[in-house]
Amino acid sequence: MVMNKLMLMMIPVFAFTGLNAQEKVPAINLSNLDTAVSPAVDFYNYATGGWQKTNPLKPEYARFGSFDMLNENNEKRINALFSDMTKSETAEGTVERKISDLYKMGLDSVKLNKEGGAPVSGYLKEIMSIRSKRNIIKEIALMHNTASGSPFFGLYVGADLKDSDSQILYISQSGLGIGDRDYYIDSSNSAIKSAYEKFLTRIFTLSGLRFPDKMASNALSIEDALARISWTSVEERDIQKQYNPMSFTELEKAYPHIRFAEYFKARGIPEQKTIVVCEPSFFKGLDSLLAAAKPSLLRDYLAGQLISDACGALSDDYYTASFDFYSKTMSGIKKQKPRWKRAMRVPNGILGEAVGKMYVEKYFPESSKKRMLDLVENLRQALGQHIDALDWMSDSTKKRAHEKLDNITVKIGYPDKWKDYSTLVINPSESYYENLRRAGEWYVADNMKKLGKPTDKTEWGMTPQTVNAYYNPTTNEICFPAAILQPPFFNPDADDAVNYGAIGVVIGHEMSHGFDDQGRLFDKDGNMENWWTAEDSRKFKEKAERLAAQFDSVKIVDGLYANGHLTLGENIGDHGGLSIAYTAMLNSFKGKHPAPVDGFTAEQRFYLSFGNIWAQNITDAEKARLTKLDVHSLARNRVDVSLRNFQSFFDAFGIKEGDPMFRPESERVHIW
């Protein structure tokens, strides 16, 4: 599901169908450890080194971790569900038929390869016939309406940050094929930029276009210009700076060459009283770019956006071109995923809640929901204790913090009402691409129909079969889909220490997002409001800066260090999650400390469990790519850098001054 980029704060996204309820999983698999490594020297390798050796990086992955292992199990189970549908008679128009038809289209390599690039040729011909700026604007509107790439900028409907009960329009920067401005601007990325130009040349050639080299150069020149005016990834995290409401008249006056009146008309969007411009300086630069650039350059850029977006729905030569750049060059992946995995992911994404309904019926025990509700309330109580104990926050701000905490809505398992896909048409007599294009158009329309209506706070931002969790500041809610309530996150057969170290930290992580550097800007009702005293804000920012500096100092690969400000919100989430979950664990003991299990104390098992969920192998190329693009720190740093702030961790493993894992009290950060 396409989500408002300002709204969700979460852990990395994976999908997982989980284990059958009768299957038992060890609370902690001792073979995952590498006891030849001292926890005082390298805790991450101590906790996960055995797992890393047993699970070498597979050629179809840039990173492979405990998440991905669960995801592979999920793919097999969902694929089995889909395969069963193809063997049975399903009525036309039913969601089962739509899933089955989409799945079979993705598997039909003979038809896809016979069609080649024909499914996009008509749309491409329209782009190549453009001769005027006015037609450029109309084509942008058409591509946006069908989700055919995201040229120049994006437009979506989301909750008003200052009136969360209302839905309004946002426009935001977009249009970079490589994904981030620094790939275009930083000279150290010249090899990737060169490979991207070759990719564009390759897909233009496959599409039978004249002068593909020149077209690629033209398209890249536009992306270079967009990169120079784009906000950085760190700037994009600043919610307050991205809230810039304008009237429609003000929008047209500020950016006359974008021709918003024509754009809105072409998209069928009525004139709006208020539009929020997320990056005003970007749109000022875009206005100048559209005024100065020749239509031929803009046209070639649009062609590149269209074909690049379509590669996964066309013949193998298109898919391979995309794989060679985006997967092999950028991430270090050596092998394409098998066709069944690629085919399975399409209906799982497009008809996600329908698949989710099938999933929960087969794999989700309601007992897990009850246990999860208890855990959430335990974590809520622990966070309340931490707020009361803060020595840097005033009583007035503490009162407002408690109000927000008490009002957090909890969603667990699956939505109370399911998305209706009855109007989504899947027609197997048409091309795979045409069906995916129409699905994109359906989702855009589904988002746009919310415009001007009250916010539906029952809606979910994830499907039940997704291993993830999120906090949404405009609804002040935390959500835990059914799939995350499985080992190694939640294990009904495990002791409390293990569950608090895994799912407990995840719960605390999401709660902490309500109080991180961006989430703290929203009140109990989900409105962006400053409920902090000036002095409390100053103290919070000072602590946050110190946490960012801890990550800034970590070397990732030669010439590249972690970006502590890009990952600040997630790092605060991890920091808060660990702190809160540890207290909740101690509370659960009720004064009766449990005996060691497998030779490890409860405190040790808590931290080993946390390390275990981040077990992973990863390529250097993927480390570099994620460091530039991802708001989450790399797995190793989420463990080692975070844990070095906690005395309870040092005590659990006898880590002392002089040990590599030790951090002096004066250098530690304590926020929540």
Backbone dihedral region of 534: left (phi > 0), alpha (psi from -120 to 50 degrees) or beta? alpha
Structure tokens, 94: 């039913």
CA gap 43, 47 in Å, rounded: 6
Return the pLDDT at 81.
87
Residue type, 662: F
Per residue in 382-400, pLDDT (tens digit) is 999 999 999 999 999 999 9
Cβ pair 569, 371 in contact under 8 A: no
CA gap 263, 265 in Å, rounded: 5
**What's the pLDDT band for 9 if we cut at 50, 70, 90?**
low
Do the domains 32-61+351-417+458-667 and 114-350 sit in the same CATH topology, yes or no? no
CA gap 648, 66 in Å, rounded: 25
Per residue in 521-549, pLDDT (tens digit) is 999 999 999 999 999 999 999 999 999 99
Per residue in 307-322, pLDDT (tens digit) is 999 999 999 999 999 9
DSSP string, 53-118: HHSPPPTT-SEEEHHHHHHHHHHHHHHHHHHHHHHS---TTSHHHHHHHHHHHHH-HHHHHHHTTH
CA gap 500, 507 in Å, rounded: 9
User: Cis omega before residue 488 (within 30°)?
Assistant: yes
Which element (helix H / strand E) includes 346?
A: helix 339-350
Backbone angles phi, psi at 137, to 5 degrees: -65, -40
Indicate the pairing of strand 616-618 with strand 63-65.
antiparallel
Per residue in 419-440, pLDDT (tens digit) is 999 999 999 999 999 999 999 9
Q: CB neighbours (10 Å) of residue 157?
A: 19
Class of domain 114-350: mainly alpha
Q: For residue 648, which of 579, 598, 600, 584 has the smallest C-alpha distance?
A: 579
Per residue in 155-169, pLDDT (tens digit) is 999 999 999 999 999
More confident residue, 403 or 484: 403
**What's the pLDDT band for 23 if we cut at 50, 70, 90?**
low
User: Could you tell me which CATH number the domain at 32-61+351-417+458-667 has?
Assistant: 3.40.390.10
Stated pTM of the model: 0.92
CA gap 347, 654 in Å, rounded: 50
List CB contacts of 317: < 8 A, sequence separation 6 or more: 116, 206
> What Rg value do the Cα atoms of the chain yield, rounded?
25
Residue-range domain boundaries for the chain: 32-61+351-417+458-667, 114-350
> CA angle 552-528-466, nearest 5°?
65
Structure tokens, 607: 């931290």
Cβ pair 409, 457 in contact under 8 A: yes
| Among the ranges given (426-430, 465-469, 556-560), the one the predictor scored with the smallest mean pLDDT | 465-469
Sequence-ordered strand ranges (E) for 544-584: 555-557, 560-561
